[in-house]
Amino acid sequence: MTAPALLPLSGRRIPPLNLGPPSFPHHRATLRLSEKFILLLILSAFITLCFGAFFFLPDSSKHKRFDLGLEDVLIPHVHANKGAKDPGGFLIHGPDEPRHREEEERLRNKIRADHEKALEEAKEKLKKSREEIRAEIQTEKNKVVQDIKMKEKKPLPPVPIPKLSGINGGDPEDNDIRMKREKIKEMMKHAWDNYRTYGWGHNELRPIAKKGHSTNIFGSSQMGATIVDALDTLYIMGLHDEFRDGQKWIKESLDFSVNSEVSVFEVNIRFIGGLLAAYYLSGEEIFKIKAVQLAEKLLPAFNTPTGIPWAMVNLKSGVGRNWGWASAGSSILAEFGTLHMEFVHLSYLTGDPVYYKKVMHIRKLLQKMDRPNGLYPNYLNPRTGRWGQYHTSVGGLGDSFYEYLLKAWLMSDKTDIEARNMYDDAIEAIEKHLIKKSRGGLTFIGEWKNGHLEKKMGHLACFAGGMFALGADGSRNKAGHYLELGAEIARTCHESYDRTALKLGPESFKFDGAVEAVAVRQAEKYYILRPEVIETYWYLWRFTHDPRYRQWGWEAALAIEKYCRVSGGFSGVKDVYSSTPAHDDVQQSFFLAETLKYLYLLFSGDDLLPLDHWVFNTEAHPLPVLHLANTTLSGNPAVR
């Protein structure tokens, strides 16, 4: 029988519901479908009303407390019989009452704050373009997949550490050199002890204000950048108590599950590089585990249309983006091109090819691209895969990309011929278009900007002296030439130090008419404890044993001691041409990772970290050569 149509508007009465036994055979006790629906509607409206009324009631805590039995749900630690019920249904409050109130207030504030945060986030989302929102959703999805994968993941496979040599030693025979090495170690103690006292856990130290310091490259959270960056230097200097102190902090406090947006490049070279080096030197598993945990957090940065990673990634959400200042939303060559060494080691240690594939994808993409004059521009758009502004430099924005091509080859026990060829091609183009001699006979590396050579060399570009020397062996029959070129760059950079009041080099210097190796603009006159010039002295020392490099290194060490040392550590200076310089009040983490390490190695024997067994990443963290033939790596599909 079909149910009668419900026509309330027609005035026709809806037959009463008969829930009792049937009185007429045609009025059965069962409810018709439409009647059930109405009933359900009324019921649900009633429930909604009650529910809503409950939430819209005025805040009862301000008037009286009803025992709604919610405390145990909201405040699990409040025991039910702590407040007995009086006959009127009110709670008779015990001595704990103020504590309860506080607790409730705290919870209410938390709920309010969470709501506000959610509102803010929603507002932020609405400001974003469709494309950005879509990318975020994709990232979220990938994150979920990744999390599932992580949960399913087996523990890291036991990979034999390649045969390591030269992790200790290097004691100089000469007394004078030994004394100099001891002095460098003392400087390291001073930098570390003050960071330990005033900045522990913070990323860096402000040695004058005597408190922690951080910059946006490390994000908003305290990740102890100085601890991670300094570990291997402490280890090779034999500062084992300090090393263990750092290890303890990393084990107990280093947390990557933070809502913080970090630089992929900086975190890779300082944290992953630092942790991997500490692992190889000490054999302590915790460093490997932390390196892998962090690397997993960086992977979402590669979720771009081209696979060229974003410059920054949020460690919690996995959302990436580029620096606002970079040409046309581009990623930076020196950033996405400086991941190879660490990522190959990660694949080696985990047996997971994902890291290796990411960096090889970048390489393949770069190989396919046109290069104006054979030069790699510094900017590449990760959405379109097109170059941004045609700006090429061996200093900032380009530098370590070239370094990692050479070091990929060295680290592979010279089997990665593709990387070597890319390096040789790039260096030939650089020599042709960017390297010039000044009127006064100084060799310098300029910068190419839209078809024009700017005769300016950055302090950062001074690392190239060491790179040319390191790459001399294995070059296209020009070993002598590249060693000589490295020596010439070392001389130019030494001149940039020598022509200042403090004997410390400026951030960048010009070659223009009468001006040679001198900074012209005030904004270029600072020295922030950078290592590149000393790094080049050390490589040149290793390859030539010419005493001038130790002498130049010692000059720099004395200048740092005299002008940068303060009671709370070491600080950069704002003007190297002023004999009474102002301090910038920052002790950079790379001062402990690189500057002091290269100085220490300069005054050590060559048996400490020999270059045929170790390759230094761009933050001076030594990683072992993966001798393919001698390790299980040859059977490891991750790196074949």
Q: Does 538 bind ligand DMJ (CB under 6 A)?
A: no
Residue 400 engages ligand DMJ in binding (rule: CB under 6 A): yes
Q: Dihedral of the CA atoms 224, 230, 231, 236 (nearest 10)?
A: -170
Contact predicate 357/365, CB 8 Å: no
- Minimum Å gap between C-beta 535 and ligand DMJ is 8
- Rounded to whole angstroms, the Cα distance separating 395 from 381 reads 20
Active site residue 507: yes
Shortest reach from residue 593's CB to ligand DMJ, in Å: 8
Site string for ligand DMJ, 456-495 (x = CB under 6 A): ----x-----------------------------------
Nearer to ligand DMJ, 261 or 594 (CB): 594
Check residue 619 for interaction with ligand DMJ (CB under 6 A): yes
Q: Is 314 helix (H, G, I), strand (E, B) or coil?
A: strand
Is there a contact between 508 and 459 (Cβ–Cβ < 8 Å)?
yes
Closest CA to 364 of 291, 313, 403, 306: 306
CB nearer to ligand DMJ: pick between 575 and 594: 594
User: Which residues, other chains included, contact 285 with Cβ-Cβ below 8 Å and sequence gap of 6+?
Assistant: 279
Work out whether 340 is an interface residue with ligand DMJ (CB under 6 A): no
3-state DSSP call for residue 200? coil
If one asks whether residue 527 binds ligand DMJ (CB under 6 A), the answer comes out as: no
Of 203, 247, 618, 636, the one binding ligand DMJ (CB under 6 A) is 618
Q: Which of residues 189-218 bind ligand DMJ (CB under 6 A)?
A: none
Q: How far is the CB of 466 from ligand DMJ (least distance, A)?
A: 11
Is the Cβ of residue 343 or residue 590 nearer to ligand DMJ in the bound state? Answer: 590
What residues from 421 to 460 belong to the interface with ligand DMJ (CB under 6 A)? 460
What is each CA distance from 339 to 261, 289, 360, 448, 599, in whole angstroms?
18, 18, 10, 24, 25
- Contact indicator for 236, 256 with CB cutoff of 8 Å: no
∠ CA 341-400-548, rounded to 5°: 105
- Active-site residue among 266, 335, 507, 619? 507
DSSP annotation of 58 reads -
Q: Give the C-alpha separation, 431 to 399, whole Å.
A: 14
530 binds ligand DMJ (CB under 6 A): yes
3-class state of residue 415 by DSSP: coil
Which CB atom, from 281 or from 592, has the smaller least distance to ligand DMJ?
592
Residue 322 sits in the site that holds ligand DMJ (CB under 6 A)? no
Q: Which of 444, 509, 527, 590 binds ligand DMJ (CB under 6 A)?
A: 590
CB of 132 to ligand DMJ, least distance (A): 30
Is 400 or 475 the residue whose CB approaches ligand DMJ more closely? 400
**Total residues in contact with ligand DMJ, by rule CB under 6 A:** 8
Question: Cα(376)–Cα(391) distance, rounded to whole angstroms?
Answer: 8
Structure tokens at 243: 């090393």
Annotated catalytic residues are 507
- Residues in contact with ligand DMJ by the rule CB under 6 A: 400, 460, 530-531, 590, 594, 618-619
